[in-house]
Structure 1
């Protein structure tokens, strides 16, 4: 079984998982920001929240898989310590450390969202604001360290997603939010 796994094109799988995770997380943060903008119909907001939760959860899972595969990748293997302890990687410690911090940030965001009914809105919101620095670290990790950023279409995906998050974030903080937190069950 181990030999079969090692015979897979791990470097390509690793790259695919990183890009796919980034795209899901980018669209996920955009739908999350849009769901909080005031003036939108409650049904649209609820659907945006469902999409936001699905995209960010799957993006996180793909991102974690991306990190774990580096353990067995023969091209550039990482140790568990290099993956779990930020800024300890022998190769590009700062950029890989940002990837590790991004993974921790995503796990924290998903967990606090899962426990949203059990914590105060103020506490949840404070944690959820970490989505912005988490996304920016994810962007830097992928854009600078990712070998596929040389491909113009991939580079445009990164740049367009960053522009979308910045624009939607600006709109969100300028217009404000509806003051309601929507879950998949409705307003709280």
Structure 2
């Protein structure tokens, strides 16, 4: 029974990590799209931003699930100490450390997003740029520590994730990209 429980923890821990990576990828792509201020062909502008926020929240839930399950898994040997201090873990310390860095960045993004109105848009936006570091670190963590990292299905998934983010970034950095800003309605004064 203990072996089955341990195997279930490991499987669900891995699975939740993969789902978190896919959701982080989607969140990254939507975040880049949201920055344009344009509607998507299938969603109005406000819905793109809302979908980005909800996808980010769901990614956070799966990341917490991933970490929480692996805390109880005897094979992963994850300790609470490892969640704060990177590169000191018992299991593949470098790759696990990248996961810790990604987790710490995610915590910073979540906390500052919750405090957005108190810290100001400029500060929030500056900290939010950490997402551009979070995503590749999480991807490299998955490739380095995941037991499925060299299986065909995971490599295809990783390539799709990379292609999606690079495609969105390419669009964002292209000459065709122009931001649309919301125009505040003006009051016309007639004399």
Please, what TM-score do these two structures have when normalized by structure 1? 0.83
What are the superposed Cα offsets for residues 96-139 of structure 1, whole Å, 9 maximum, x if unpaired?
A: 11101111111211222222223322212111111010101001
Aligned residue in 2 for 1:56 = 56
Runs of 4+ with >4 A deviation: 5-8
Bigger Rg, structure 1 or 2: 2
Q: 1:39 to 1:15 in 2, by over 3 A?
A: closer
Structure 2 residue runs of 5 or longer lacking an equivalent are 183-191
Gaps of 5+ in 1: 181-188
Give 1:50-129 correspondences, 5 Å limit. 50-129=50-129
How many residue pairs match? The answer is: 177
Q: Please state how far the C-alpha of 1:52 moved relative to its aligned partner.
A: 0.9
Partner of 2:162: 162
- Note the alpha carbon deviations across 1:83-106, whole angstroms, 9 max, x for none: 321111122211111101111111
| CA deviations over 1:12-65 (Å, ceiling 9, x no partner) | 111111101111111111111111114437x62211111111111111121122
CA RMSD for the aligned pairs?
Answer: 2.3
Q: TM-score, normalised by structure 2?
A: 0.82
When residues 29 and 107 of structure 1 are mapped into structure 2, their CA distance, relative to the original with a 3 A threshold, is: same
Higher relative contact order, chain-length normalized (CA < 8 Å, sep 6+): 1
